[in-house]
């Protein structure tokens, strides 16, 4: 346990702190208490994440990613003097009561999830202090990617994305000389046998699944690949166009394949092609990271070591 003298904390080795039986017992009790209090939201979130028709499967990986981001800052955390910071009671209390309000008063899954993140922030601030929070702020903030958006928001976003995917695919197919027409969000392509095959760009082809997952992935890469805030802003801004272009390419490929076999534009083949296209999209995004880092070099390692992997909040 940290030794305190004259109100100040002596800085023991981080691993020694974490392997102390008292610390392990305290962390376990806190985690069990939080899991019990937020069990309703967790249960609902797992249901959303495991439904094949939902866009939230990536949320199950968010806690592990947060733990990885904390682990990246382990060297800096070893130099931090942990101390109680009583103002942390404010966000902790607001988060606890906010969650209760969004469960009993006005049921809202988004509000419950954000209240959970606020509670975690307040608890860490209370127990470890603002100096440690400098290194833990962004890993904790990343937990917002574990919270699903309301269905009404998804509906409003999905329809414009359907139109964008269909119009972009139409332009791309026309450029390469494919005989295709566009009616709303329906692409009509002439098959190899001369028949017209309609391909409806429905909710599943809107690209919302790709967009949501790609933004969450892009945020991780931003935090890991660079420490410069302006680069992180650029990279986060690029996640949206990369995901949209990727979806346009996917719809165009599915439409082209429908010329020869309409079954390739539906079912398991549809899902498999969408997953395979995530690979070049991921490497395209890493290419943007490489270009930015080559254009402007990162700070020296000695300076970077003094900064948290998540940067300064």
- Whether 220 contacts 290, CB under 8 Å: no
Ordered alpha helix ranges (H), the chain:
14-18, 21-37, 39-50, 62-72, 74-77, 89-100, 109-128, 130-141, 151-175, 208-225, 229-257, 267-276, 278-295, 301-305
Asked whether residue 240 carries a pLDDT value surpassing 90, the answer given is: no
Mean pLDDT throughout 59-75? 86
Question: What is the number of alpha carbons within 13 Å of residue 18 lying toward its C-beta?
Answer: 7
Give the model's pLDDT for residue 114.
94
Instruction: Please give the Cα distance from 205 to 167 (Å, whole number).
Output: 13
In whole angstroms, what is the distance from residue 293 CA to residue 234 CA? 12
Mean pLDDT, rounded, for 107-118: 92
What is the per-residue DSSP string for 217-239?
HHHHHHHHH---HHHHHHHHHHH
Which of 26-30, 87-91, 249-253 is the least confident region? 26-30
What does the CA dihedral 212, 214, 220, 221 come to, rounded to 10 degrees? -160
Mean pLDDT value across residues 41-65: 80
Highest mean pLDDT among 15-19, 36-40, 71-75, 285-289: 36-40
pLDDT of residue 266: 62
**Angle CA(94)–CA(96)–CA(100) in degrees, nearest 5?**
110
Among 207, 204, 106, CA closest to 165:
207
Residue whose pair of structure tokens reads 């498999």 in the numeric block: 272
What is the pLDDT, as a whole number, of residue 263? 66
Q: For residue 302, is pLDDT > 50?
A: no
Find tokens 């691993």 and name the residue: 15
The pLDDT of residue 119 is 93
Q: Quick count: other Cβ atoms within 10 Å of Cβ 81?
A: 15
CA distance 190 to 235: 39
In this structure, are residues 11 and 83 in contact, taking their beta carbons and an 8 Å threshold?
A: no
Say which residue the tokens 């300076």 belong to. 303
Domain boundaries, the chain: 4-148, 152-305
Run of H or E residues at 86? none
More confident call, 200 vs 251: 251
Q: How far apart are CA 113 and CA 109, in angstroms?
A: 6
5: pLDDT confidence band, cut at 50, 70 and 90? very low
Q: Assess whether pLDDT exceeds 80 at residue 171.
A: yes
pLDDT number for residue 312:
45
- Provide the pLDDT confidence category of residue 211 given band limits of 50, 70 and 90: confident
Most confident option among 95-104, 145-154, 177-186, 269-278: 95-104
The pLDDT value recorded for residue 113 is: 92
Residue 20: predicted pLDDT: 64
Mean pLDDT estimate for the chain: 77
Q: What angle do CA 49, 112, 85 make, to 5 degrees?
A: 120
Give the span between the Cα atoms of 55 and 149, in whole angstroms: 10
Among 277, 210, 215, 216, smallest CA distance to 61 is for 216
pLDDT tens per residue across span 255-268: 777 777 766 666 56
What is the pLDDT at residue 120? 92
Residue 102 has pLDDT above 60, yes or no: yes
Average pLDDT over residues 76-94: 86
* pLDDT of 269 over the 70 cut: no
Would the pLDDT of 196 be above 50? yes
The candidate with the shortest Cα–Cα distance to 95, out of 113, 70, 126, 119, is 119
Please report, for residues 55, 148, 160, 268, 271, the alpha-carbon distance to residue 151 in angstroms, rounded to integers and kept in the order given: 11, 9, 15, 25, 22
């Amino acid at each position: 346990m940290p030794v305190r003298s004259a109100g100040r904390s002596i800085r023991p080795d981080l691993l020694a702190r974490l392997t102390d039986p008292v610390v392990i017992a305290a962390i376990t009790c806190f985690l069990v208490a939080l899991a019990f209090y937020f069990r309703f939201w967790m249960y609902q979130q797992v249901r959303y994440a495991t439904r094949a028709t939902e866009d939230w499967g990536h949320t199950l990986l968010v806690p592990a990613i947060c733990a990885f981001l904390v682990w990246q800052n382990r060297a800096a955390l070893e130099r931090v003097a942990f101390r109680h910071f009583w103002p942390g009671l404010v966000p902790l209390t607001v988060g606890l009561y906010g969650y209760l309000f969004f469960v009993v008063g006005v049921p809202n899954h988004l509000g419950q999830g954000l209240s959970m993140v606020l509670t975690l922030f307040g608890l860490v601030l209370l127990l470890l202090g603002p100096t440690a929070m400098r290194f833990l702020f962004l890993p904790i903030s990343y937990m917002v990617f574990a919270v699903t958006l309301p269905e009404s928001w998804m509906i409003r976003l999905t329809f414009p994305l359907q139109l964008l995917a269909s119009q972009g695919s139409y332009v791309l197919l026309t450029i390469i000389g494919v005989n295709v027409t566009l009616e709303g969000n329906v692409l009509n392509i002439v098959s190899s046998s001369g028949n017209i095959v309609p391909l409806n760009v429905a909710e599943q082809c809107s690209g919302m699944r790709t967009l949501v997952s790609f933004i969450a992935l892009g945020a991780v890469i931003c935090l890991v690949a660079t420490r410069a805030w302006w680069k992180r802003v650029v990279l986060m801004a690029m996640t949206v166009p990369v995901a949209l272009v990727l979806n346009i390419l996917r719809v165009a490929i599915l439409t082209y394949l429908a010329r020869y076999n309409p079954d390739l534009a539906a079912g398991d083949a549809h899902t498999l092609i969408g997953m395979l296209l995530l690979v070049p999209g991921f490497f395209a995004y890493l290419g943007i990271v490489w270009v930015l880092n080559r254009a402007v070099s990162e700070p020296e390692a000695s300076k970077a070591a003094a900064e948290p992997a998540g940067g300064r909040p």
